[in-house]
Chain A
Amino acid sequence: MKQRGNLAGLAEAAAAVFLTLGASFMFRACTVHDGTFMVCHWAQNAVVLIGAVLVILSLLRLIIRGQEIRTGLALSISVVSAATILIPGRIVHLCMMETMQCQAVFRPAVIIVSALLAVIAGADGITGLLRFGKKT
């Protein structure tokens, strides 16, 4: 049971690191053009910042021993990563042309990785809550 719990924590940390590094390098938004940043650059910054927060939360989720705190952290990771889905295109606008890097790569990649993280962390949190229910 303990190993399975750590497995979920590791998966959360891996997904959070992938989101942060991916948004910075692999599936980044449009590059600087003529010395100016496009609006999608700020969406990328927001995703990287939240990704970094998610990395810290998921590391805490791995390190801290208390089951109650772990469950709370998992649930918060789930909610924050679900909110990250809304950043590209909704909270922060992207470039208008759908063939551009920010629309064609950055947006779907952020949505998929964030959704995956939200599902894993959500399942982890709910499992933790169910365990509480059994104990009390």
Chain B
Amino acid sequence: MNIRMLPLRNLLGRPFRTLALLLIAAVMSASVFGGMAASASLQNGLSSLESRLGADIIVLPDDAKAAVDLKNILLQGTPGYFYMERSVQEGIAAVEGVAQTSSQYYLVSANAECCTVQVQIIGFDEETDFSVKPWLKQAYSGQLGENEIIVGAALSTQTGHSLKLYGVECKVVGKLEATGTGLDTAIYTTDNTVRTLIRAAEEKGIHVLSRQSPDDMLSSVYVKVQDGYDIGEVEAKINLTLDGVQAVRTRSVLTGTADKLAVISGSIRLLIVVVWVLVVVILTASFSVMASVRRREFAVLRTLGFSRRQLVRIVMTESSAICFAGAAAGLLIAWIAVYAFGRQLEIRAGLPYLLPDVLHTVVYALTAAAAVWAAGMLASAYSAYGLSHTDAGNILREGD
């Protein structure tokens, strides 16, 4: 028999023991890899939302529902709408410390042909926009024409295709990068196209929209503060100067989310450490039990001429094989949960969720595999030393 095949034959010869150890290794690798990937996805989602908004302050109608609606639009993609007078924008621009303002108009589609749910339509001013345009440019560098739209990354349509909104054929001229937020399911267009959609809605008997035409109303004003001015002070000035509006710092919109995320990430990190320690303890105990059971087997091998080094190598190879196979199984399970069902996690958590890129994924996978292997080596090292340093003669004389 080939000596190199001995560890493999040992493992195959005790399938239930091998399977149990594989399961332990798989649980560890799944928790380490899945935990790191999920935590990174949540962090990526929040960072991407922060940079995506681009504004220091967002001004909304002075109504609690508006703030909740905005959060739902941003985080969960739940369509919402709220309106205030268009003249507000001039008032905000006149406040000391305001560098730039840009308005957005939120409209909710009736069921689009694409989906059974409503879709958020965001009309933005191409001339003044600074929070959407930088992202739109990645997809489309020209000016949006009549009935032309740009879609978020989570709408699986392609540039050049059309979408029917209120019966109007709208041509998709660009698609955005994924952000892992509710903005991924939105449709972006100009106020002119929004007017066309409202007219089409009226023709279909939906008259309520005509009372909130983008000619007189807007939904939110994004504000950039001049360098050297305190954002908090500018926010307070807007709230004091203008009636019927509420200015909120972009960061404060995301504070609750960031807090939630910090708790989840902390829990995940704690879970990874606890699982790692538990696995080391369980594996050490398992290998110790195995060592006492296999004393006679190793004594026989020793009398057959195996060196101590060869015996250590057998134990370590068995341990490595179990760790690597278990780690592979665990990585596959975690990949299915975190990557394949990532969207479902995002929906359930109600938090921005942007999966890490391939390079980071590979790093997390290698880290998880290394953690499992290190745990296996630590656990088996003591047993390997014990087995290779026992007195073969004494053990064989002991009998049963």
A111 partner residues in chain B, CB cutoff 8 A:
340
Residues A104 and B341 in contact, CB atoms below 8 Å apart:
yes
Annotate B101-133 by CB proximity to A: 1 below 8 A, 0 otherwise: 000000000011011110100000000000000
User: Which residues of chain B from 64 to 82 have any CB-CB distance to chain A below 8 Å in the complex?
Assistant: 77
- Distance of A97 Cα from B111 Cα, bound (Å): 12
8 Å CB contact of B347 from A89, A95, A104? A104
A134 located at the interface, meaning its Cβ lies under 8 Å from any Cβ of chain B in the complex: no
- Distance of A104 Cα from B185 Cα, bound (Å): 13
B115 partner residues in chain A, CB cutoff 8 A:
38, 95-97, 100
Residues A33 and B116 in contact, CB atoms below 8 Å apart:
yes
Residues A100 and B155 in contact, CB atoms below 8 Å apart:
no
Residues A108 and B341 in contact, CB atoms below 8 Å apart:
yes
Residues B341 and A105 in contact, CB atoms below 8 Å apart:
yes
Residues B119 and A105 in contact, CB atoms below 8 Å apart:
no
- Distance of A111 Cα from B341 Cα, bound (Å): 11
Interface size class of chain B, counting residues whose CB lies under 8 Å from the partner chain: 20 to 34
8 Å CB contact of A95 from B116, B184, B344? B116
Residues B340 and A98 in contact, CB atoms below 8 Å apart:
no
User: Main secondary structure on chain A at its contact with chain B?
Assistant: loop
Residues B340 and A99 in contact, CB atoms below 8 Å apart:
no
B396 located at the interface, meaning its Cβ lies under 8 Å from any Cβ of chain A in the complex: no
Residues A97 and B340 in contact, CB atoms below 8 Å apart:
no
Q: Which of A95, A96, A112 has the most CB of B within 10 A?
A: A96
Number of interface residues of A (CB under 8 A): 19
B184 partner residues in chain A, CB cutoff 8 A:
98-99
B185 partner residues in chain A, CB cutoff 8 A:
97-99
- Distance of A34 Cα from B155 Cα, bound (Å): 21
B87 located at the interface, meaning its Cβ lies under 8 Å from any Cβ of chain A in the complex: no
B77 partner residues in chain A, CB cutoff 8 A:
99
Residues B340 and A96 in contact, CB atoms below 8 Å apart:
no
Nearest CB of A to B30, in Å: 15
Q: Select from chain B the residue with minimum beta-carbon distance to A33.
A: B116
B157 located at the interface, meaning its Cβ lies under 8 Å from any Cβ of chain A in the complex: yes
Q: Select from chain B the residue with minimum beta-carbon distance to A40.
A: B116
- Distance of A100 Cα from B77 Cα, bound (Å): 11
User: Which residues of chain A from 11 to 60 have any CB-CB distance to chain B below 8 Å in the complex?
Assistant: 30-31, 33-34, 38
Q: Select from chain A the residue with minimum beta-carbon distance to B343.
A: A104
- Distance of A100 Cα from B184 Cα, bound (Å): 13
B116 partner residues in chain A, CB cutoff 8 A:
30-31, 33-34, 38, 95, 100
B156 partner residues in chain A, CB cutoff 8 A:
89, 94, 96-98, 103
Residues A99 and B347 in contact, CB atoms below 8 Å apart:
yes
Asked whether A97 and B117 contact (CB < 8 A) given A108-B341, A112-B340, the answer is yes
Residues B111 and A34 in contact, CB atoms below 8 Å apart:
yes
Q: Which of B156, B163, B336, B347 has the most CB of A within 10 A?
A: B156
User: Which residues of chain B from 336 to 385 have any CB-CB distance to chain A below 8 Å in the complex?
Assistant: 336, 340-341, 343-344, 346-347
15 extra A-B contacts, CB within 8 A, seeds A95-B114, A96-B163, A100-B115: A33-B117, A38-B115, A38-B116, A96-B155, A96-B156, A97-B154, A97-B185, A98-B154, A98-B185, A98-B343, A99-B77, A100-B116, A100-B117, A103-B156, A112-B340
Give chain B's interface residues, CB within 8 Å of chain A. Answer: 77, 111-112, 114-117, 119, 154-157, 163, 184-185, 336, 340-341, 343-344, 346-347
Give chain A's interface residues, CB within 8 Å of chain B. Answer: 30-31, 33-34, 38, 89, 94-100, 103-105, 108, 111-112
By Cβ-Cβ distance, the 4 closest A-B pairs, closest first, are A96-B114, A33-B116, A104-B343, A98-B154
Q: Can you give 24 A-B contacts (C-beta < 8 A)?
A: A30-B116, A33-B111, A33-B116, A34-B111, A34-B116, A38-B116, A95-B115, A96-B112, A96-B114, A96-B115, A96-B156, A96-B157, A97-B117, A98-B154, A98-B156, A99-B154, A99-B184, A99-B185, A103-B156, A104-B344, A104-B347, A108-B341, A111-B340, A112-B336
